[in-house]
Amino acid sequence: MRGFLIGLQFLTQLPIRTERADPRRIADSYYFYPVIGFLIGASAVLLRHILIVIFPLSFSITLVLGFLIWISGGLHEDGLADVADGMGGGWTRDERLNIMKDSRIGAFGASMLILILLAKYAALTSMSLARLDAAIVTAQILGRWAFLPMGYFNHYAREGLASEFMKGLTGRAVIVGTMISMGAVLLISTAQGGLASVVAAAIIVIASLYFRSRLGGVTGDCFGATFQFVEIATYAAFLT
């Protein structure tokens, strides 16, 4: 249970306070990442069902997307914007890392955020209602599962929150987290869930190779950007 609370504290902005965790407790939290993703997705689905009683689908989806940004403190969106600015504006590894560390958002970051939010809105509002809830939950599970292989199979590009996460990540946590994630996703939707899982794995591989070539490793922003791409790819899989 302690590991679960630490995971919630790390992945959400819920007002959870725990005693200072030792490395073993932090490592225990990694097993709960898919579970936390499921709970966030289920909460978003519950919110959608409440809102749809009052508002049209399009406005309900807008509020659900707002909830998903709020629950994670906007960390994943911030990561995507920083990566877009760094890759778009930096010519060398050091330039890219410095731009990504800058708290200000640039033209590339703002444009990418607008595009990704429009893509999510378009996908969810045009999706069959029979698949909508499954897509939302699956995206949240796979997005947080992606942190595990992404962190285990890459080096960190600089010291920071991501490097602390990666240092404690074990192969056992990746295997168990993958089994939980894939099992849950396939139970939710065998066909689209399976397709989304394959696409998510491909995105992790492509993102890892790209970040290695451009940054020499990954940072916390890279995790956020990868989450965003896995989420939108999952919605695309449920549109097929």
| This prediction's pTM | 0.94
Statement: residue 13 has pLDDT above 80:
yes
Q: What is the Cα–Cα distance from 240 to 188, expressed in whole angstroms? A: 16
Statement: residue 19 has pLDDT above 80:
no
Average pLDDT score over residue span 76-103: 91
pLDDT of res. 210: 96
pLDDT of res. 12: 87
* Residues 187/197, Cβ–Cβ less than 8 Å: no
Beta bridge partners of 218: 156
Q: What is the Cα–Cα distance from 68 to 11, expressed in whole angstroms? A: 12
Q: What is the Cα–Cα distance from 4 to 84, expressed in whole angstroms? A: 32
62 CB neighbour count, 10 Å cutoff:
17
More confident of the two residues 44 and 5: 44
6 band by pLDDT with thresholds 50, 70 and 90: confident
More confident of the two residues 13 and 159: 13
pLDDT of res. 41: 97
pLDDT of res. 16: 77
Per the prediction, the chain carries an average pLDDT of 91
Statement: residue 21 has pLDDT above 60:
no
Q: 32: closest CA among 143, 145, 171, 134?
A: 145
9 band by pLDDT with thresholds 50, 70 and 90: confident
pLDDT digits (tens, 9 = 90+) for 165-200: 777 888 999 999 999 999 999 999 989 999 999 999
Statement: residue 109 has pLDDT above 80:
yes
Q: What is the Cα–Cα distance from 146 to 158, expressed in whole angstroms? A: 20
pLDDT digits (tens, 9 = 90+) for 208-231: 999 999 999 999 899 999 999 999
pLDDT of res. 162: 67
Statement: residue 26 has pLDDT above 80:
no
pLDDT digits (tens, 9 = 90+) for 42-66: 999 999 999 999 999 999 999 999 9
Q: What is the Cα–Cα distance from 203 to 209, expressed in whole angstroms? A: 10
